A and B are shown apart, each in its own frame.
Chain A
Amino acid sequence: DADVTQTPRNRITKTGKRIMLECSQTKGHDRMYWYRQDPGLGLRLIYYSFDVKDINKGEISDGYSVSRQAQAKFSLSLESAIPNQTALYFCATSEGVDYGYTFGSGTRLTVV
């Protein structure tokens, strides 16, 4: 099994729909992150969590919400999807401040 698993891998949804992207990790790390990647814009941080009770907004949190259900699970929700949320979404985990991230394989989301 992969260290970081994201579901679904691909999703097409309609404008206005609520959608949840799920992430689970087997690394045993406390820190988890959600990024989105757009061509020409790179990876941008949406939300991050340093433990189950700690949730922080990132650079581009508007229109998104998250839930940290357990140490291993961190979900990202789009309450009312809009077309400019079409992007590749990545979940990541890290052991601590000075350590690199382990990324999932991504969810490609298309909002039509």
Chain B
Amino acid sequence: EDQVTQSPEALRLQEGESSSLNCSYTVSGLRGLFWYRQDPGKGPEFLFTLYSAGEEKEKERLKATLTKKESFLHITAPKPEDSATYLCAVQASQGNLIFGKGTKLSVKP
């Protein structure tokens, strides 16, 4: 069964304190791993797609990496505006996405 597990459930950081979010997955034949950002009361916003182990993508203070079993979202020198819930998802064989439960990130000034 395809499955996505994210950790930690919640993360509190001070502004400037770098850290990483984890997404571990089990899927038969990975076709893509996706990261989304979700602000309260809003729909998830697409960040990255990773397709193969070793691949990395960056956007501002965020960098996503992928191995054969997990993905990391590295946040470098975060700012309060980076506070959000970050969702990880994998592409299932039918073509739909299976989401993890998310990591709620809070960055304090």
Contact = CB atoms under 8 A, between A and B. Distances in A.
B105 to A, nearest CB: 16
B99 A100 contact: no
Contact of A42 (B31, B41, B95, B99): B99
B59 interface: no
Interface string B33-44: 010100001111
Nearest to B94: A56
B99 A43 contact: yes
B101 A33 contact: no
Contacts of A106: 41-43
Interface in A15-36: 31, 33, 35
Given A42-B99, A56-B94, A106-B41, A98 B49 contact: yes
Contacts, number: 55
Contacts of A42: 87, 99-102
A42 B9 CA distance: 11
B45 A103 contact: yes
B96 A33 contact: yes
Contacts of A97: 31, 91, 95
Contacts of B98: 45
B97 interface: yes
A103 B89 CA distance: 14
Interface centre among A50, A90, A101 (most CB of B within 10 A): A101
A103 B96 CA distance: 14
Given A33-B96, A48-B96, A58-B96, A101 B101 contact: no
Contacts of B34: 100-101
B43 A45 contact: no
Contact of B87 (A40, A43, A44, A56): A43
A105 B43 contact: yes
22 contacts: A4-B43, A31-B95, A33-B96, A35-B99, A41-B101, A42-B99, A42-B100, A43-B87, A43-B89, A45-B97, A45-B98, A58-B96, A92-B43, A97-B31, A98-B51, A100-B34, A101-B44, A103-B43, A103-B44, A103-B45, A105-B43, A108-B41
